[in-house]
Structure 1
Amino acid sequence: MFPQMEQLLNQLHTQTRFPTPEPLLRHVIAAYARAGLPSRALRTFLSIPSPSLRSFNSLLHALLSCRDFASFTRLLPHLPRFRGPDACSYNILIHACSLTDDRDRAWKLFNEMRRRGVRPNQITFGTLINLLCKSPQLHLPKAFKVKEEMERVFKIKPNAFVYTNLIKAVCEVGDFDSAVRLKDQMVRNSLKLDAVVYNTLVSGFLKGGKKDIGFRVLEEMKSGGVKPDSVTCNVLIGEFCREGKFEEAYRVLDDGLEGVKPDVFGYNVVIGWLCKEGKWREADDLFRDMPRRQCVPDVVTYRTLFDGLCRCMQFEEAGLVLEEMIFKGYVPRSSSLNEFVGMVCKEGDFELLGKVFSGLVGGRFCCEDVWKTLVLLVCQSEKLLGDFEPFNELVLA
């Protein structure tokens, strides 16, 4: 699609007397962002003779969507070129800081925003509070201070996003009374308690050992007409697995809640916990049964099962999972693969190792770290030297 689009844009540029309309180029920038092509989005922006602030914001949003944080640093000096960056510009930049946990830069941008007379809005404060709540043990008091300033100084009411982040944070530090007070504040401020809010409360209480309160909130959710979603199912599955109640976890997998089934995340949780408990056969059976259950395994599913099988010393089965991963275009974490190679070498199963490396090289997934591990093992063991002669072909390939 993109080659044809670019050809049409080129024709429009060369065969007419008029420049390509800027709104059209903003749509092109957005299309490149959806496709994960930040360099092309940047190139399109640079083709605009006198780009407007709106186009600059479109580019910032595209780079944010693609997680191209390096380009943000290069673009910041160009911000003063425009008549004045607006709240949208700063919100995108602060959001980028939130994703990279760069609190110092976020506050510099917030202070610069105020110096320039740009009024912060709900999104600005929500992003800052979200950033602070990521480390509640350190920054929770400051998060509440920002909320108070938001209401008192700027007369902006916190939205559900702000409250949800604060509820999650106070539960993480064990302040469950504050979680209840925040929920009550939402009700007083006529904010709707939706599934996201209830899921956050239920998850926080259950993880904090307040099971009675957690299940009471779940019943309140149902009686209040708020329909559970897949996240609700996943929260319950996680709690049942933590308690070792796998039958209950399977019941949620099988039946769901009020007609809603868990998503792949719920299956990943069960597979991970089964492997932790040494129940690798059950984990593998559930993994194989996922297509029948109309749930497609994702890369996390494969990685979770692969890691679990390795911990359980089931290298043959782990090799089969790895082979299937490579076929689907997935690959384990580099650290997991290194550990797997090392353990298989210690077991002396060089036939399996040969199959693994053949598959990795064939799928072009054999990274430098894995080769280093292999070379180190070969050098450390005289026995390996003879057994690894077939790897000459792989090295030459």
Structure 2
Amino acid sequence: MAVIEKKKGSTRLFPGTVLEALHERIAALRWESALKVFELLREQLWYRPNSAIYVKLIVMLGKCKQPEKAQSLFQAMIDEGCIVNQESYTALLSAYSRSGLFRKAFSLLDEMRSTPNCHPDVYTYSILIKSCLHFHEFDKVQSLLSEMVSQGVKPNTVTYNTLIDAYGKAKRFVDMESTLVEMLRQRECKPDVWTMNSTLRAFGGSGQIETMEKCYEKFLSAGIQPNIKTFNILLDSYGKTGNYKKMSAVMEYMQKYHFSWSLVTYNIVIDAFGRAGDLNQMEFLFRLMQSESIKPNCVTLCSLVRGYAQAGKAEKIRGLLRYIESSDVTVDTVFFNCLVDAYGMMGCLAEMKELTT
């Protein structure tokens, strides 16, 4: 794990090596291993308590849904004499809220307001709002927004984007639109491509294509430039509603203006043409994907299987299985279940039996 220096019978870790090992584990969210490395770190003669390391560990533990361990580290940080500030409080509050422990999170928020130099800022509130939205605690969200106003803390673009995205996913379109209107009123908060993508995804995903298109035009006229995610949202929305001409138009636009396709883009269009029964286009896109050295995944393969099954092309599925055997593509249970469903749809009972035995 680390380079070891032995001196007079003792074992001592070099600072740079052990810190690198710690940060690697934090970045990979390997919380158990990270805590073990941190314990080794604390045993070293050269160790000095560092608030930044504690905060990174607490944030990691929050992401890994380990709020109790995050609380223990927070207390250890205090015991070691580290300065506790707004950042460290926010890290612990995030750990609580990510696990849905809102009573503790709100209690900590109260504590922050009464602690000098630890007052919650827009980042603190945005984190708590995001967690509340994740757990559909919409009443708490409104309470937090009102509190922000009373505390003189202004929402920023990230806050508004978080609200718009969550309301859209929950199909709370009235709340989403009112949030967008409020955002536009704030001179400091300009909508960006994230705002656009969340709005388009909400309307497109619910089949409101005309509204999606109007919003797209408004965002463009406001000077917001689309990115690859924007086009993926448009492609997916058109594909799932059977608007294949419009989907093809988006594909042509992307080609014309040199937007490189991602794996997600290919998966969307392959699935759409497969559902439409256009196997020639589906297969062409699959070959194009391979020619661009984009490795297919299980989503790609399932879309191909469903397209072939819908067209009753059992021999095509067998050819796809031969391709998988000769490639380094890893398949999972989802793919095998898709395969079973496909053979069942075509009445290929022998193949079904072979897969399930």
Q: How would you bin the TM-score normalised by the shorter chain?
A: 0.7 to 0.9
CA contact (8 A) 1:203 1:235 kept: yes
CA contact (8 A) 1:271 1:286 kept: yes
Deviation of 1:260 after TM superposition, in Å, equals 0.8
**Do residues 122 (structure 1) and 122 (structure 2) align?**
no
**Do residues 300 (structure 1) and 264 (structure 2) align?**
yes
Identify the residue that residue 204 of structure 2 maps to in structure 1. 241
Identify the residue that residue 159 of structure 1 maps to in structure 2. 121
Residue by residue over 1:67-104, the C-alpha shift from the partner in whole angstroms, topping out at 9 and shown as x without a partner, is: 56575255233132233442222222222223333334
CA contact (8 A) 1:98 1:106 kept: yes
The CA distance in 1 between the partners of 2:142 and 2:277, in whole Å, is: 45
Counterpart of 2:61, as a letter, is C
Identify the residue that residue 89 of structure 1 maps to in structure 2. 53
Deviation of 1:315 after TM superposition, in Å, equals 4.8
Identify the residue that residue 324 of structure 1 maps to in structure 2. 288
Bigger relative CO (Cα 8 Å, ≥ 6 apart):
2
Counterpart of 2:163, as a letter, is L
CA contact (8 A) 2:171 2:202 kept: no
- For normalisation by structure 1, the TM-score amounts to 0.67
Deviation of 1:237 after TM superposition, in Å, equals 0.7
| Count of equivalent residues | 339
- For normalisation by structure 2, the TM-score amounts to 0.73
Aligned pairs for 1:58-73 (under 5 A) are: 58-65=20-27, 71-72=33-34
Deviation of 1:236 after TM superposition, in Å, equals 1.8
Aligned pairs for 1:327-346 (under 5 A) are: 327-334=291-298, 337=301, 340-341=304-305, 344=308
The CA distance in 1 between the partners of 2:215 and 2:186, in whole Å, is: 21
Larger mean Cα displacement after TM superposition, 263-272 or 360-369: 360-369
**Do residues 148 (structure 1) and 117 (structure 2) align?**
no
The CA distance in 2 between the partners of 1:371 and 1:213, in whole Å, is: 38
Aligned pairs for 1:226-237 (under 5 A) are: 226-237=189-200
The CA distance in 1 between the partners of 2:251 and 2:211, in whole Å, is: 18
Q: 2:74 aligns with which of 110, 113, 116?
A: 110
The CA distance in 2 between the partners of 1:243 and 1:364, in whole Å, is: 36
Q: Unaligned 5+ residue runs, structure 2? A: 7-11
**Do residues 51 (structure 1) and 39 (structure 2) align?**
no
Q: Unaligned 5+ residue runs, structure 1? A: 1-41, 386-397
Gap change, CA 1:345 and 1:90, over 3 Å in 2: same
Residue by residue over 1:237-284, the C-alpha shift from the partner in whole angstroms, topping out at 9 and shown as x without a partner, is: 123214533233234445525101232222222333333334455435
Deviation of 1:176 after TM superposition, in Å, equals 4.5
Residue by residue over 1:332-360, the C-alpha shift from the partner in whole angstroms, topping out at 9 and shown as x without a partner, is: 44366257447736855356446645665
Gap change, CA 1:344 and 1:179, over 3 Å in 2: same
Partner of 1:271, secondary structure, is helix
The CA distance in 2 between the partners of 1:192 and 1:370, in whole Å, is: 45
Residue by residue over 1:176-230, the C-alpha shift from the partner in whole angstroms, topping out at 9 and shown as x without a partner, is: 5543443343344443432112222333445555544543432332232122110
Deviation of 1:300 after TM superposition, in Å, equals 2.2
Identify the residue that residue 390 of structure 1 maps to in structure 2. none
Counterpart of 2:97, as a letter, is C
Identical residues among aligned pairs (%): 21
Counterpart of 1:227, as a letter, is K
**Do residues 381 (structure 1) and 345 (structure 2) align?**
no
